[in-house]
Amino acid sequence: MALDEYYQAPRFPKIKEKIIVQTLPTQMGGMIANAACVFATYNKNAAFLAALNTGSISQKLCEGLKEAGLDTKYIIWDDTLPDSKTIIILANGEHTVFIPTMNLQSFELSSEALHEICSSNYLYSNFCELRPLRYKEQNAIQVLEKAKSCGCKLWCDLDVADFLDDDDTFFNYTDTIFVNELGFSNLNKRFDSNALKVLFQKGVHMIIVTRAENGCVVYRPNQKEISLPGIHVPVVDVTGAGDTFCSSFLFAHTCTDNIKICAEFANYAAARSIMIMGARAGSAGVDMVLKFIKSQGDDISRFACIKNYEEAQP
């Protein structure tokens, strides 16, 4: 979770170069927080775990989560931490993101927080966020082992797949992986061009590769890959598009086992989000996504499984 500071540049500067940029309004962001907010707008219950200082920026971020409908009671307050910020440079039709480290060494779960994780159907995170988890004498891997034994499935957005050597063990507890094109390339480099084979052997059930304007590809063990083209729309801000895709895919998967429908719904949700400024532009809900799908000339009848499920919720 972070406050996104936006700057518009005429082009991205070279090393040692100075360039004048336009300061744009700040937005609320953060990969997991973005995905959680999108998920909540689909009328799904979700709790958010994080560590923040008690400053004004943190309070603003926390209020944003509450307004989105997220349970924030498990947030840990620690004034040794810096403000959570992200710097985003918009230039050359793309966004470049600078993520300052929070230097969080340990995230001590309460008994209530551990119970929440273990009683949940899904834990959505990434290896960077999982690494500091602790419960008494248990490390992150032991926490995940307990969660998995209780039936909780771990879905991870690995983005560019930039993680530590010791993180490989996390794959043994991961059910579904989201990764972008660069991340998929990095995974293949890490596993000698056999990322799919190695990860499926470790127990991963599904790997979804997002390909920006080129759509997405879904891989599953012993099944034909599902490849979808991109949806071309006017681009305002691509920040958070991946988070919208991942969260929308997970939501759709709670409604139907039809993976192609899940991918199509997520594809459209992400495309709609990049037409609006801000990393949480994807927080729209089912009706808005279906309306967008219809505006693109597509038939929404095949998404009835999602629409009907959503309407049936209290």
Domain boundaries, the chain: 31-57+69-82+105-312
pLDDT digits (tens, 9 = 90+) for 81-93: 999 999 999 998 8
- The pTM (predicted TM-score) of the whole model is 0.91
Cβ(124)–Cβ(36) below 8 Å: yes
Is the domain covering 31-57+69-82+105-312 a CATH 3.40.1190.20 domain?
yes
What are the pLDDT digits (tens) for 166-188? 899 999 999 999 999 999 999 99
Cα atoms in the Cβ-side hemisphere of radius 13 Å centred on 211: 17
Please give the Cα distance from 13 to 31 (Å, whole number). 25
Residue 314 has pLDDT above 60, yes or no: no
CA atoms within 13 A on the CB side of 252: 24
Q: How far apart are CA 156 and CA 167, in angstroms?
A: 12
Based on the number of CB atoms within 10 Å of its own CB, is 71 exposed (0-12), middle (13-18) or buried (19 or more)? middle
